[in-house]
Amino acid sequence: MKRCIIFILLFSFAFVNFAADKGKIEVPLRFDRYYNYDEVIIALKALNKAFPALTELDIVGQSEEGRDIYALTINNPKTGDDLEKPGVYVDGNIHGNEIQAGEVCLYYANMLLTKYGENERITKTVDRNAHYIIPVVNVDGRYRFFEDANTSSSNRSIRVPRDDDNDGLVDEDNYDDLDSDGSICQMRIKDPFGRYKTDPEDPRLMVRVEEGKKGEWTVLGQEGIDNDGDGQINEDTEGYLDPNRNWGYNWMPYYVQSGAGLFPLSGIGLKAVNDYIMARPNIIMAYAFHNSGGMWLRAPATKEEKISQRDVAAWDILGKNAIKITPGYVYQPAYDLYSTYGDFDSHMYNLAGAYSFVGELFQSSQETYRVDITKPIVAPPAEGGGGRRGGSPERSREQMKFNDHLGIGEMYKDWKPYKHPLYGDIEIGGWVKMTSRLPQLFMLQELVHRNAAVVLFSAENTAEVKLETLETKKIGKDLYRVRVRLSNDKALPSMTYQAGDKKLHRKDILKVSGAKVVAGGELTDMYRDLVTYKEHKPEIQFLIVPSYGKIDYQFIVEGKGEIEIEYQSIKAKNLKASVNL
């Protein structure tokens, strides 16, 4: 009887937990799994409910298909309004298939909230900064990536129909899950004149045949049929409006930049995200996470685009630290990869006045099965075939062994016969949807933690300005010399120099009130009393507080009693001080 009761209790407990998992997500969040679109929303609501004093959950807008885009604000209102603090913006999943990017955003939010009050660094960052987090920008893409059959690369686009094959129809020839396994794999057909043969070392893979030798297979491409009867397969899939080519700065039309859309911010959800960002001018640091390559990319996105070298110096501090936190990543300007127009990085830097990074996450080179991983595999590049993975037959074989020994065989679908309506007897197989661009689940937690740590470092290095009165000296009847210092021991200045040079928004203000300011200007050498005096309205000075440095000002003030010295900044915290004359 006792055993029976124990069994019933254990069964009931298991059932309750199972039911809770289906409809509820617990805090702290888990990162040994991927959250689908609905679960991301549940997770954000769970964080908001668990930490109501530190969070606000907003619907930024809706997508083309009517799904909500959520943003989580993390800020301690006891230390000030969010708009009065240096803002850190983080988003992910701008391409629908880049789901681990959304997990980084969730992890960062979860880390800030669950460790607040326990970890000194995180507590200070939450108190000092405002964090704006949008885990999923392309909500339709994420939803459909999970719910529909896909390749690892499909459903990237914003869901704006496009006639890719110029036949007057839109999105009419998408991929087809012929074998109903939830993944769009590859098709191949027996062909003695084909360019590929079975790999003699692993029959699941194919290698290119040598010149003059008979082949065995022709690769037909991704699973599909000729839905529109035009003799082509999968030639008009979803979209294509690339949400990272549709931003406002340096946008170019489709004939210059593929995926550009009809006009800048023509994506409904993307425009809503931009409006959300522009309503928060305090944002000084921005991260947009993508899915693969192991890269930290910054502006400029084209060689023709000019940026401030003083800003590059600040970027370098963050970027060179980032590649230490994420081994194997590279830090470089975006155009070193390829030129892009209408991209997020340049938009944020040139229009929002923020230092910005695109973080390309997963490194497929981590899928290893060998003793010495410090020695890369060097071999002639493979030309397609081999199941689509790897840069060479040797690399594809290693990735297959990774699948066998670490992916427990779930990453690859063995070739199976299929009767195709056009090609007849074919085979379907290859790498499944949740591979290639995505880390396996046992690799996910390290990936999200390392990348969240990069964001944390940047948040900690937004400007922290200090206001000091260095001297109040009487130099005549009711005439005083007042010297003021603004200092900053963080890596980022109080605003980007590009914003100052291009007059994107006003510079910081140092203002003296309460008495007549006869003269005022930057004190360039206090020992020799060298001052660059401002001709008009000397009581108001416009400036940028540099990184790891200071800037001094001198005012000649006429009067008696108390004067107020005020520092105002869009991107840093405002400060006040009083001085008695």
**How many CA atoms does the CB half-sphere of 444 hold within 13 Å?**
23
Mind listing the pLDDT tens digit for each residue in 28-58? 999 999 999 999 999 999 999 999 999 999 9
The phi-psi region of residue 528 (left if phi > 0; otherwise alpha if psi is between -120 and 50; otherwise beta) is alpha
Per-position b or e across 3-30, b if 16+ CB within 10 A of its CB: eeeeeeeeeeeeeeeeeeeeeebeeebe
Q: What is the CA radius of gyration of the chain?
A: 29
Q: What's the DSSP call for residue 255?
A: T
Mean pLDDT of the chain: 93
Q: Strand 516-525 relative to strand 530-533: parallel, antiparallel, unpaired?
A: antiparallel
Predicted pLDDT at 16:
34
The whole-angstrom separation of Cα 39 and Cα 477 is: 71
Map tokens 């799994």 to a residue.
33
List the beta bridge partners of residue 292: 362
pLDDT at 220: 96
Mean pLDDT of 571-580: 97
Instruction: Label the pairing between strands 330-333 and 295-298.
Output: parallel
Strand 283-289 versus strand 87-92 pairing type: parallel
pLDDT for residue 241 is more than 80: yes
Q: Looking at residue 75, what is its pLDDT?
A: 98
In what helix (H) or strand (E) does residue 329 lie, and over which residues does it extend? none
| Cβ atoms of 145 and 67 closer than 8 Å | no
Burial class (CB within 10 angstroms; exposed 0-12, middle 13-18, buried 19+) of 408? exposed
Structural contact between residues 112 and 157, judged by C-beta atoms closer than 8 angstroms: no
Region of 362 (left: φ > 0; alpha: ψ -120 to 50; beta: rest) is: beta
At 499, is the pLDDT very low, low, confident or very high (cuts 50, 70, 90)? very high
Q: How far, in Å, CA of 65 to CA of 486, rounded?
A: 49
Integer Cα distance of 123 and 266 in angstroms: 39
pLDDT range class, residue 445, cuts 50, 70, 90: very high
- For residue 224, is it left (φ>0), alpha (ψ between -120 and 50) or beta? left
- Mean pLDDT (whole number) for 434-453: 97
The whole-number average pLDDT for the span 78-104 is 98
Alpha-carbon distance of 270 to 75, in angstroms, equals 24
Q: What mean pLDDT do residues 529-542 have?
A: 96
- pTM for the model stands at 0.93
Q: How far apart are the first and last CA of the chain?
A: 88
Question: 28 preceded by cis ω (within 30°)?
Answer: yes
**How far is CA 320 from each of CA 90, 317, 329, 354, 452, rounded to the nearest angstrom?**
19, 6, 10, 18, 16
In terms of Cα–Cα distance, which of 54, 58, 82 is closest to 71?
A: 58
Please report the pLDDT score of residue 475 as a whole number: 95
- What the block records as the tokens of 34 is 């991927």
Is the per-residue pLDDT at 176 higher than 90? yes
Chain segment 109-142, per-residue pLDDT in tens: 999 999 999 999 999 999 999 999 999 999 999 9
* CB half-sphere exposure, 307, CA atoms < 13 A: 29
Residue 5 corresponds to which amino acid? I
Q: What is the DSSP letter of 223?
A: S
The Cα angle at residue 66 between residues 65 and 67, in degrees rounded to 5: 100
How far are the Cα atoms of 166, 170, 187, 196, 202 from residue 193, in angstroms, in the given order?
32, 35, 16, 9, 21
Rounded Cα gap, residues 347 and 349, in angstroms: 6
pLDDT, residue 165, reads 87
Q: What is the pLDDT of residues 192-234, one digit of tens each?
A: 999 999 999 999 999 999 988 999 999 999 999 999 999 899 9
Lowest mean pLDDT among 125-134, 156-165, 340-349: 156-165
Prior bond of 376 cis (ω within 30°): no
Overall residue count recorded for the chain in this entry: 581
How crowded is residue 471: how many other Cβ atoms within 10 Å of its Cβ? Answer: 14
Amino acid (1-letter code) at residue 333: P
Domains of the chain: 2-145+241-362+441-460 (3.40.630.10), 162-238+373-436 (no CATH), 465-580 (2.60.40.10)
Residue 15 has pLDDT above 90, yes or no: no
CA separation for the pair 411, 557 (Å, rounded): 74
Residue 109 DSSP SS3:
helix
pLDDT the model gives residue 381: 43
Q: Is the pLDDT of residue 10 over 50?
A: no
Least confident of 12-16, 46-50, 327-331: 12-16
Tokens of 191: 């062909």
Cβ contacts of 272 within 8 Å, gap of 6 or more:
60, 61, 62, 69
pLDDT digit string (tens) for 352-408?
A: 999 999 999 999 999 999 988 777 765 544 444 444 565 689 999 999 999 999 999
pLDDT of residue 148: 95
Q: How far is CA 230 from CA 172, 177, 225, 234, 295, in A?
A: 11, 19, 11, 11, 40
Nearest to 513 by CA among 449, 459, 566: 566
Among all chains, which residue has been given the structure tokens 């023509």? 266
> What is each CA distance from 376 to 389, 392, 398, 406, 547, in whole angstroms?
16, 12, 11, 19, 39
Q: What residues does 530 pair with on adjacent strands?
A: 525
492 touches 462 (CB < 8 A): yes
| Contact between 545 and 494 (Cβ < 8 Å) | yes
What pLDDT does residue 389 have?
Answer: 60
